[in-house]
Structure 1
Amino acid sequence: MKTLYIVRHAKSSWDYNGIEDIDRPLKKRGIKDSHLMSKFLSKEIAKPDVFISSSANRALHTSVIFCENFEYPLSNLKIRRQLYSFSDGYLVKTVKALDDGFSSAIIFSHDHGINTFVNKFGNTPIAHVPTCGIIGIQFEEKHWKNIKKGKTIMTESPKNHK
């Protein structure tokens, strides 16, 4: 069995002129929500075997906060530029390429790709994953490359924890 947690990056700022989208930082609310949700999740589940983040500043900052609250070594955080994509293609490739030695993984990525992925691979329709939302999906597979439709085991958002 394989378990995947997907986290949409926390609320980011649009207040900076002249910076690329990939460099946008988290807002104060995003930082608070990242701590809130990572502390919640760290009490609900066993520490995932691998943490993987998009290279975008907002996703990376979110993942660093989760690493901190899970006591997961930052040196083990995997950063994937290809996850800075707004389609599910690279997210699917990333998941299916996971080492089969990992029974669980947590991935930090972006809006549209996550929404498409969780509706394609989970069994619960989800209209929209909010910022810092967490979706958990369990797969009855031994190999990540074979995942198909799984069971949605978690849908959490910051608004449910404030």
Structure 2
Amino acid sequence: MKTLFIVRHAKSSWEYEGIKDIDRPLKKRGIEDAYLISKVLQKKIETPSVFVSSCANRALHTAMIFSYSFNYPLANLKISKSLYSFSDGYLIKTVKALDNGFDSAIIFSHDHGISDFVNKFGNIAIHHVPTCGVVAIEFNTKHWKNIKDGKTLFTEFPKYYK
């Protein structure tokens, strides 16, 4: 069995002129949501075996907050340039390339790729994964490269707690 937790980065800010998209920071609401959802998740699941984040500032900051809540060493956080994409193709490649020694993984990335991925591999239709939304999918396989037809275990969205 392999379990994947996919997290869309928390709410980011558009208010800075001249800043590149990859450098956009989290808004105050995004930071608050990341602490909220990471604490909810930390009480619900065991610490995932590996944390992998897009290299975008907003995804990295979200991953750092989750790492803090889970007591996961920041030095072990894996950063992926290829996850800074808005298609599910890079997300699929990233997941399928995970080390089989990891039984669970948490990945911090971007929409539209996330919504496409969870609908392609999960068994529950999810119209739109909101910022700081988490979708858990379980796969009946021993090898990440063989993922298909997963079972959506749960979703955690900030709106559930507000």
Using the size of structure 2 for normalisation, the TM-score is 0.99
Q: Shift of residue 86 of structure 1?
A: 0.2
Q: How does 1:36-115 map to 2 (within 5 A)?
A: 36-115=36-115
3-state SS of the aligned residue for 1:36?
helix
Tell me the equivalent position of 2:161: 161
Q: Shift of residue 154 of structure 1?
A: 1.1
- In the TM superposition, structure 1's runs of 4+ consecutive aligned residues that sit over 2 Å from their partners are none
Tell me the equivalent position of 1:18: 18
Structure 1: runs of 5+ lacking an equivalent? none
Rounded Cα–Cα distance in structure 1 between residues aligned with 2:156 and 2:40:
10
Q: Is residue 134 from structure 1 mapped to residue 142 from structure 2 by the alignment?
A: no
3-state SS of the aligned residue for 1:111?
coil
Using the size of structure 1 for normalisation, the TM-score is 0.99
Rounded Cα–Cα distance in structure 2 between residues aligned with 1:111 and 1:93:
16
Tell me the equivalent position of 2:145: 145
Rounded Cα–Cα distance in structure 2 between residues aligned with 1:87 and 1:41:
25
| Residue deviations 1:62-98 (CA, integer Å, cap 9, x gap) | 0000000000000000000110000001100000000
3-state SS of the aligned residue for 1:10?
coil
The residue type paired with residue 52 of structure 2 is I
Tell me the equivalent position of 1:125: 125
Structure 2: runs of 5+ lacking an equivalent? none
Q: Shift of residue 7 of structure 1?
A: 0.2
| Residue deviations 1:83-114 (CA, integer Å, cap 9, x gap) | 00000011000000000000000000001000
The residue type paired with residue 74 of structure 1 is L
Rounded Cα–Cα distance in structure 1 between residues aligned with 2:132 and 2:18:
25
Rounded Cα–Cα distance in structure 2 between residues aligned with 1:20 and 1:149:
37
Task: Tell me how many residue pairs correspond in the alignment.
Answer: 162
3-state SS of the aligned residue for 1:90?
helix
Q: Shift of residue 143 of structure 1?
A: 0.4
3-state SS of the aligned residue for 1:108?
strand
Q: Shift of residue 12 of structure 1?
A: 0.2
